């Protein structure tokens, strides 16, 4: 009987997921494994919703964004009985191992299940680039390229209308997208979750810029950034399955305050889901492919409880537990480089 490996993609979608799926399938079939696709993340394993994965099903998916398996933010540890369903269906499907492709929350579930006896390995996915033990997660490069292009485009309209342009990008607890796209796009101020916003300092920087004859400015702000002694700006109080509040609105809040305090006309652009959609960059396609191959290698070696990680130029195996223990936040050396260009 052929051995079986399952694959699922959980949490927010991002460019490069299909490259991982494709790599897993191609390598697994080469090694004589049957591949079972689990639909819609952990929800699919709770409900035993699957699809077969073969050469035909992964043909042509490399340049496509999103995930052919579908995704959800389902967390089996949030509802009584769901963990037991996951374990039961793992056995029912005859899986020898499961490759879990996801971010902090999805891989956090994988880490718990490994400790409870399931053969799982992980591949790190998040546009936020906030997973520990890996230099980069796939999806991040595409996101910062999309954000940088948006900032480039906003420069011309900002200059034409003599406006302040506030660009809100994703980044719940870590400002990697904001800092890298902001540097690349020549932003005049970059605001990240790691450093509370001093609105008076922001307004002074804008005034100083205008006093030098500059009639426009670009501000990049991460969605999770917060004002000094203030709360996160939230869309609503509703929590997702992993217990996170929905963020968003910091851009508009910031824009309103700036216009009132400085008198400069201010406009806000929220990039939102544009950052995680569409065709992945070549870098993300290659990185996703390397992660998929490494994940399948770990299955072949029965080296479970590990995650593929990029360290330097090498893809290595790291413990899942270490990867999800704490978030990787922005390197302050990088932030200090950005500050040289502020105002």
- pLDDT score of 130: 95
Question: Helices 176-184 & 332-339, crossing angle to 10 degrees?
Answer: 40
Question: For residues 207-237, b (16+ Cβ closer than 10 Å) or e, as one string?
Answer: eebbeeeeebbbbbbbbbbbbeeeebbeeee
- pLDDT score of 2: 76
Same structural domain, 125 and 163: no
Q: What are phi and psi of 317, to 5 degrees?
A: -100, 130
Same structural domain, 125 and 182: no
- pLDDT score of 239: 61
In terms of Cα–Cα distance, which of 280, 319, 242 is closest to 20? 280
Residue segments in the chain with a per-residue pLDDT below the cut of 70: 1, 230-248
**CA 240 – CA 254 distance, rounded (Å):** 25
Catalytic residues: 128
In a domain, 339, yes or no: no
In a domain, 89, yes or no: yes
pLDDT digits (tens, 9 = 90+) for 169-200: 999 999 999 999 999 999 999 999 999 999 99
Same structural domain, 130 and 41: yes
Same structural domain, 48 and 77: yes
Same structural domain, 226 and 313: no
In a domain, 93, yes or no: yes
The position carrying tokens 């020898």 is 96
In a domain, 249, yes or no: yes
Supply the range of the domain harboring residue 249.
Answer: 144-276
Look at the chain and report how many structural domains it folds into: 2
Q: How far is CA 282 from the centre of its chain?
A: 17
In a domain, 331, yes or no: no
Same structural domain, 65 and 126: yes
- Residue 299: give its domain's CATH number: 3.40.50.450
Same structural domain, 187 and 298: no
- Residue 214: give its domain's CATH number: 3.40.50.460
10 Å CB burial of residue 144 (0-12, 13-18, 19+) is buried
- pLDDT score of 245: 57
Same structural domain, 209 and 171: yes
Same structural domain, 114 and 22: yes
Predicted structure pTM score = 0.91
Same structural domain, 248 and 316: no
Same structural domain, 213 and 317: no
């Amino acid at each position: 009987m052929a051995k079986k490996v399952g694959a699922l993609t959980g949490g927010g979608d991002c460019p490069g997921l299909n490259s991982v799926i494709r790599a897993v399938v191609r390598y697994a079939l080469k090694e004589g494994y049957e591949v079972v696709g689990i639909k819609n993340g952990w929800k699919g394993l709770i409900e035993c919703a699957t699809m077969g994965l073969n050469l035909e099903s992964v043909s042509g998916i490399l340049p496509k964004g999103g995930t052919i398996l579908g995704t959800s933010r389902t967390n089996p540890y949030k509802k009584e009985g769901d963990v037991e369903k996951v374990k039961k269906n793992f056995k029912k499907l005859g899986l020898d191992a499961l490759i879990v492709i996801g971010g902090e929350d999805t891989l956090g579930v994988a880490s718990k299940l490994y400790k409870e006896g399931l053969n799982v390995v992980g591949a790190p996915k998040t546009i936020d680039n906030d997973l520990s033990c890996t230099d980069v997660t796939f999806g991040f490069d595409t996101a910062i390229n999309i954000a940088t292009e948006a900032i480039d485009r906003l420069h011309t309209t900002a200059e034409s209308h003599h406006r302040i342009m506030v660009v809100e990008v994703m980044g719940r607890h870590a400002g990697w997208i904001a800092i890298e796209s902001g540097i690349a796009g020549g932003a005049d101020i970059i605001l990240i979750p790691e450093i509370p916003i001093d609105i008076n300092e922001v307004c002074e920087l804008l005034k100083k810029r205008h006093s030098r004859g500059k009639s426009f400015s670009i501000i990049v702000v991460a969605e999770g950034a917060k004002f000094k002694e203030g709360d996160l700006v939230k869309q609503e109080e509703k929590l997702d399955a992993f217990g996170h509040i929905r963020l968003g609105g910091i851009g508009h809040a910031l824009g309103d305050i700036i216009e009132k305090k400085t008198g400069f006309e201010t406009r806000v652009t929220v990039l939102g889901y544009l950052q995680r959609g569409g065709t992945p960059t070549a870098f993300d396609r290659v990185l996703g492919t390397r992660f998929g191959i490494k994940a399948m290698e770990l299955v072949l070696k029965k080296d479970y409880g590990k995650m593929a990680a990029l360290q330097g130029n090498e893809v290595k195996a790291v413990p899942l537990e270490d990867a999800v223990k704490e978030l990787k936040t922005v390197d302050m050396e990088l932030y200090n480089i950005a500050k040289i260009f502020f105002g």
